[in-house]
Each structure stands twice: as structure tokens, then as C-alpha cells.
């Protein structure tokens, strides 16, 4: 099967607030796109049958689409959501020509790719953007392999539909064996268009939180308390939440009637990945949502995680993993039975799920598991951070990891993104294949932790003492203002680095929400107890009240943004920039 070029197949100089917001917050299947979109889901491709390309044509336009009974306009790439899955080969020079048929500027960012700064696709930072009616050619040499994705970096075009998988085949033999290969991008389709979602979030605190605790709930808790001490704890906790202007049920910003998609298929369209019993099936999981942390599992099968953010890791066998916005994980499963298995990506807030099927033949549909109980936040989640109001004080951009008012001491290293989950994480043997787990490990339900992520190869990075860059994740949640170090995107001066300089990035979360922090231009090695084998990542989940630490080398000149990949948080101001040896002359 030979893919057509149209299908694009798979197998600034001044960093002002105005220009930065232009990049983060201002303002295939072409034949299939002409048919009623609700008639069928996106086709499912086994990537082992497809070949990489070096020249790709992409067209950005507005299209009417429908998912889960919700019909509205979308910003599309080649007429579909998601856009065409691209496949490159490590070491190839590629050209991607993007034509803008929208009535507004647009862009494409290569999420996780090492590219020259002027090819990174952030308007106002690395290039001017693509004007209506214009075309732009992205040209770069592919320096890596693995699972990535590409999306718009202009306003809210990404959650409006401009996203798609990107798979890069390795120059040398893949270290992991598999028989089938599927890219699965998880995304969301909100009942309100993304610009309206953002306006609502800015307008009313907790606009989409339909589970706020009421006075009746308070009286019920008091009535159920066994003694005066317990009643006092109930009152103290309620007062603490009131002082923070927070609600423990506030787990996600988005509408609860959001439709979740697997590779452009809603639950009725039943995304289906096929297998023959005994085959090893690789699933390339990508969280392309703008609002939602997803908990992924395949009931009846254990998953062997072999890659994180496109980088090979020592295999880890788990039953479930949490994937933050912008993260990718590759897993291998080996089903032996002639039956359908559900592929479940459940929203962290338990408001819904994306559902598909892993099956031995087309037309089978796995039974959907029920939504699990909605978790509640506790004051312990904040590790004592009870001052979540106006951001107070601003830490210098290059300081120790816990500098600044309100920063609490946390262990140096990466924390577990599954802390506070509804089931305990149990450590088991990590190097056994999924179908040959020892009996003791088979019986323990296990979730992936950042502490598990160990690179397949050791690093050869400089031993020089790194520059300490402390970044406080701050904000005023009830006003939907999100900041870094107490400053909105573009208000702070960029952190200036020398090319080749080692940097220790300490992300300290002083808010009551998880944040997936995405670093453009570089991979950073997790400081997670694995020494020089800590996994390389470009996106990091930072839990409330916790700290994640990662080291990187500033080996690419130019301006690079660092921002929360909850795209509405970035829109509200949660970003900053690194400036490495000034800007390249061509930027």
C-alpha cells in the first residue's frame, strides 16, 4: 500500500507580551472530508504497512464536523480531525508545505521535535506565523525517532481541531519487537467551541464544575461526624477551602459533557485496532487534549511501556498509566484470546472516557467498563499550601528549586503523577514481558510512576554544575489567571542561556491543579533516582504542591517557550521563554 502525498501518511526578535500571546494566546483523506463526517470514524492504519515521506502538503481550513451528536465548526488539517498521521525517517531532510485557507493566522508546531528555532512554529517567537491565503515551508532534518505529534500554536486552534500524530522510524533497528503498530491520539470535542469555553472559564469561577459542594453536603458531613473532634475537622477543612476559594471537586476545567475521541472516533464509531492472537501490538498513545489528564488501561491485558515522549525506556509492565496533555507513551500488549478488549482512556475527573476496541476481527465491539468513582482533592494534596490566592512575590528566574514565597520543600526529583489515585501503585518486576509476569506481580494492580522511567541507554552529558532555574507554577484560580513565577506570559524577561550550558529546571507547583509543563527545543532528563539513566522527556506532569526536577543542555540557539500544555492555561498566561545565545540570524 503506497500512500499518496496528499494523505501525508504515517509508516522574534522582541519577546513582548503582544508577540508571545500571538503564539500562545492571542486572539488523508481529502475525499472522506467531503462526505458527512458522522457517517464513519477515521480509518485505522497499521503503521507497519506504511512508508515515510520527505515531502508533505498540508492545508488548513475550517470544516463542519460532528462527534457524539455535537456538530460545530473545526479548524482542520487536510479536512479531518485529527489531521493526517505523518511518518518520517530519522536522518531524512523533510519539507512540509502548509497552506492557510483560514481567515486568521495559523501555524504548525512540531511537538517534541529537535528543529531549528525558526522551524519550531510559535508565532511571535520563532516566526511570524502564516497569514490567510499564504503558504509556509517547514524544512528540517529529522534528528530523532519515536512517537510525537504536531499541532497549531496559534490561539485556540489546537483544541479547535488542528492536531495529528507524527511517527518517526529509527535509523537503526528498533530495540522492541512488535507485529502491529497503531498511533492513537486521544482528544476532546467540547459542546461549546473552544473560544467560548475560554470566555466562560474567565467569566465565572468553576463554570463547568457541576459537583460543587453545597450547604446540604456540609450539614450531612457534620451529622455523620462521630464526635466533636471530627466535627471540628469538618469545619476547619471547609473554612480552609473557602479561604483558598477552591472546591475539592474541582479536578478539571472542561465541560462534563465533553466527547472524548480515540484517533478521531467517538465511542459509537468504535475505533478498532486489529490483531491475531499471540501477536505483539504496539500502541502509540498521545494525549492531544487541551483540558484533560487521561488514565489509560486495557482491561484484561497488561501493558509494557517501552517509550516515553518518543524516547526508549527500559520496559515497565503496568495495568494503567496516566498521560498528561502533550505527553506520549508507547506500550506493547500481547492478546492471546479471540475476543474484543476495550481500550479505555478515562478522564481523571471521571467525567467521561474515550473508548475503542482491540479485536481479532473487524466489527467487534468491546464492552465499556463503568466510569469509576470521582476522586476528591484533599488538603494533603497541597502539602500544606493553603495560600492559593493572589500570587505573592516573584522568584528570580535562575534560583534554587524552592525559592520564592509560598514554595514548600519537596523531595529533589520527579514525583509520582499518580499520587492520590483511586488505587495504590504497587512496584513489581519491570523487565518481564507482559505475558510472562511472575505470579506475585500478576496479582498486583500497578500504575506507572515517573520513578519507573529509566532510559534504555545512559547519557554522556557534561558533568559541569548546572545553572539552577527555579520555576514556580502560580496563579489565581478563581479569576482563571495562570502564571509562572507570578508573572504572565511575556511580562517577564526571558531566561538567557549560553549555548551548551547545562540547566537544572525545578518546577514547583504552588497551585491546586496538575500542570503538564512542555519545554520546546530540548529534552530534559528526569532527576528521578535513576542517575544518568533518568528518562528524557519534553513534557512533565507537576502535581499540586509537588516539585519535578529535570536537567537539560541548551544545545540549540534561539528563543524557546516553556508553558503549561493545558492550552487554556497557556492562553491565560502560563508560559515563559528561554533565549539561547541570542536569536539565530535567520529568525
Q: Residue 209 falls within a domain, yes or no?
A: no
Measured CA distances, 284 to 167, 182, 329, 452 (Å): 9, 6, 6, 19
**Residues 312, 292: one domain?**
yes
Q: Domain holding 476: CATH number?
A: 2.60.40.420
**Residues 154, 278: one domain?**
no
**Residues 477, 448: one domain?**
no
Whether the CB-CB separation of 431 and 315 falls below 8 Å is answered with yes
Cell numbers placing 292: 484533560
Domain boundary among 452, 479, 506: 452
Each residue's pLDDT tens digit in the chain (587 positions)? 333 333 333 333 334 333 444 444 433 333 333 344 443 567 787 898 888 999 999 999 999 999 999 999 999 999 999 999 999 999 999 999 999 999 999 999 999 999 999 999 999 998 999 999 999 999 999 999 999 999 999 999 999 999 999 999 999 999 999 999 999 999 999 999 999 999 998 887 666 555 565 666 655 776 777 888 877 776 667 666 556 656 655 666 778 899 999 999 999 999 999 999 999 999 999 999 999 999 999 999 999 999 999 999 999 999 999 999 999 999 999 999 999 999 999 999 899 999 999 999 999 999 999 999 887 766 666 554 444 333 333 333 333 322 332 333 333 334 444 443 333 332 233 333 333 333 434 558 999 999 999 999 887 776 677 999 999 999 987 788 999 999 988 788 899 999 999 999 999 999 888 999 999 999 999 999 998 899 999 999 999 989 999 999 999 999 999 999 999 999 999 999 999 996 554 44
**Residues 525, 400: one domain?**
yes
Whether the CB-CB separation of 561 and 125 falls below 8 Å is answered with yes
Q: Residue 168 falls within a domain, yes or no?
A: yes
**Residues 273, 314: one domain?**
yes
Domain boundary among 112, 139, 173: 173
Q: What is the residue range of 490's domain? A: 384-414+455-587
**Residues 167, 41: one domain?**
yes
Domain boundary among 173, 195, 214: 173
Q: What's the pTM value of the predicted model, to 2 decimals?
A: 0.81
Nearest to 330 by CA among 471, 453, 418: 453
Cell 545553572 locates to 467
Q: Residue 246 falls within a domain, yes or no?
A: no
In order, the DSSP letters of 457-515 are S------SPPEEEEEEEEEEGGGTEEEETTB-TTTSPPEEE-TTEEEEEEEEE-SSS-E
Return the DSSP state at 372: P
Q: Residue 180 falls within a domain, yes or no?
A: no
What gap in Å lies between CA 357 and CA 128, rounded to an integer?
42
**Residues 388, 331: one domain?**
no
Q: Residue 53 falls within a domain, yes or no?
A: yes
Whether the CB-CB separation of 120 and 114 falls below 8 Å is answered with no
Is 162 marked within a binding site? yes
Whether the CB-CB separation of 511 and 388 falls below 8 Å is answered with yes
Interstrand relation of 467-476 and 501-509 (parallel, antiparallel or unpaired): parallel
**Residues 519, 446: one domain?**
no
Q: CA torsion sign, 88 to 90 to 96 to 102? A: positive
Domains contained in the chain, number:
3
Q: Residue 56 falls within a domain, yes or no?
A: yes
Q: Residue 304 falls within a domain, yes or no?
A: yes
Task: Look at residue 380 in the predicted model and tell me its pLDDT.
Answer: 64
**Residues 571, 531: one domain?**
yes
Nearest to 331 by CA among 368, 297, 289: 297
What gap in Å lies between CA 172 and CA 446, rounded to an integer?
32
CA atoms lying within 13 Å on the CB side of residue 16: 4
Q: Residue 203 falls within a domain, yes or no?
A: no
**Residues counted in the chain:** 587
**Residues 461, 510: one domain?**
yes
Task: Look at residue 224 in the predicted model and tell me its pLDDT.
Answer: 78
**Residues 329, 345: one domain?**
yes
Interstrand relation of 109-111 and 135-141 (parallel, antiparallel or unpaired): unpaired
**Residues 363, 391: one domain?**
no
Amino acid at each position: 500500500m503506497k500512500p499518496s502525498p496528499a494523505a501525508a501518511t504515517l509508516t522574534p526578535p522582541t519577546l513582548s507580551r503582544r508577540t508571545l500571546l500571538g503564539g500562545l494566546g492571542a486572539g488523508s483523506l481529502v475525499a472522506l472530508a467531503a462526505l458527512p463526517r458522522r457517517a464513519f470514524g477515521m480509518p485505522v492504519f497499521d503503521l507497519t504497512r506504511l512508508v515515510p515521506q520527505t515531502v508533505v502538503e498540508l492545508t488548513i481550513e475550517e470544516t463542519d464536523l460532528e462527534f457524539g451528536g455535537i456538530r460545530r465548526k473545526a479548524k482542520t488539517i487536510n479536512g479531518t480531525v485529527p489531521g493526517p498521521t505523518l511518518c518520517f525517517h530519522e536522518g531524512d531532510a523533510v519539507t512540509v508545505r502548509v497552506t492557510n485557507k483560514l481567515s486568521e493566522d495559523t501555524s504548525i508546531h512540531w511537538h517534541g521535535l529537535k528543529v531549528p528555532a525558526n522551524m519550531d512554529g510559535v508565532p511571535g517567537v520563532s516566526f511570524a506565523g502564516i497569514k490567510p491565503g499564504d503558504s509556509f515551508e517547514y524544512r528540517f532534518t529529522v534528528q530523532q525517532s519515536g512517537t510525537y505529534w504536531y499541532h497549531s500554536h496559534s490561539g485556540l486552534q489546537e483544541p479547535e481541531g488542528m492536531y495529528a500524530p507524527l511517527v518517526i522510524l529509527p535509523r537503526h533497528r528498533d530495540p522492541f519487537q512488535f507485529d502491529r503498530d497503531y498511533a492513537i491520539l486521544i482528544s476532546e470535542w467540547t459542546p461549546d467551541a473552544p473560544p467560548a469555553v475560554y470566555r466562560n472559564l474567565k467569566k465565572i469561577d468553576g463554570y463547568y464544575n457541576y459537583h460543587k459542594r453545597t450547604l446540604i453536603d456540609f450539614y450531612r458531613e457534620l451529622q455523620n461526624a462521630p464526635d466533636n473532634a471530627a466535627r471540628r475537622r469538618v469545619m476547619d477543612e471547609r473554612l480552609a477551602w473557602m479561604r483558598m476559594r477552591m472546591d475539592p471537586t474541582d479536578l478539571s476545567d472542561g465541560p462534563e459533557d465533553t466527547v472524548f475521541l480515540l484517533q478521531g472516533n467517538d465511542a459509537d464509531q468504535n475505533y478498532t485496532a486489529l490483531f491475531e492472537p499471540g501477536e505483539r501490538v504496539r500502541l502509540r498513545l498521545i494525549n492531544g487534549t487541551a483540558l484533560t489528564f487521561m488514565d489509560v488501561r486495557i482491561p484484561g491485558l497488561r501493558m509494557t511501556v517501552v517509550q516515553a515522549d518518543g524516547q526508549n525506556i527500559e520496559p515497565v509492565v503496568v495495568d494503567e498509566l496516566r498521560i498528561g496533555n502533550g505527553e506520549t507513551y508507547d506500550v506493547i500488549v500481547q492478546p492471546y484470546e479471540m475476543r474484543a478488549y476495550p481500550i479505555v482512556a478515562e478522564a481523571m475527573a471521571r467525567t467521561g472516557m474515550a473508548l475503542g476496541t482491540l479485536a481479532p476481527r473487524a466489527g467487534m465491539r468491546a464492552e465499556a467498563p463503568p466510569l469509576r468513582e470521582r476522586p476528591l482533592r484533599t488538603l494533603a494534596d497541597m502539602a500544606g499550601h493553603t495560600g492559593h490566592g493572589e500570587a505573592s512575590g516573584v522568584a528570580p528566574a535562575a534560583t534554587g528549586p524552592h525559592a520564592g514565597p509560598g514554595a514548600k520543600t519537596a523531595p529533589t526529583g520527579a514525583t509520582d503523577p499518580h499520587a492520590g489515585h483511586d488505587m495504590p501503585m504497587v512496584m513489581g518486576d519491570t523487565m518481564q514481558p507482559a505475558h510472562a509476569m511472575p505470579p506475585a506481580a500478576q496479582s498486583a494492580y500497578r500504575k506507572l510512576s515517573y520513578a519507573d522511567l529509566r532510559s534504555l541507554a545512559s547519557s554522556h552529558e557534561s558533568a559541569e554544575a548546572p545553572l539552577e532555574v527555579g520555576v514556580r507554577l502560580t496563579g489565581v484560580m478563581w479569576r482563571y489567571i495562570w502564571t509562572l513565577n507570578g508573572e504572565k506570559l511575556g511580562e517577564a524577561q526571558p531566561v538567557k542561556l549560553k549555548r551548551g550550558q547545562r540547566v537544572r529546571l525545578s518546577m514547583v507547583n504552588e497551585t491546586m491543579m496538575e500542570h503538564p509543563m512542555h519545554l520546546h527545543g530540548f529534552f530534559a532528563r528526569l532527576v528521578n533516582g535513576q542517575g544518568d539513566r533518568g528518562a528524557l522527556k519534553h513534557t512533565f506532569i507537576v502535581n499540586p504542591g509537588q516539585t519535578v526536577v529535570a536537567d537539560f543542555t541548551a544545545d540549540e540557539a534561539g528563543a524557546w517557550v516553556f508553558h503549561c500544555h493545558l492550552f487554556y492555561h497557556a492562553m491565560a498566561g502560563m508560559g515563559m521563554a528561554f533565549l539561547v545565545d541570542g536569536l539565530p540570524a535567520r529568525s
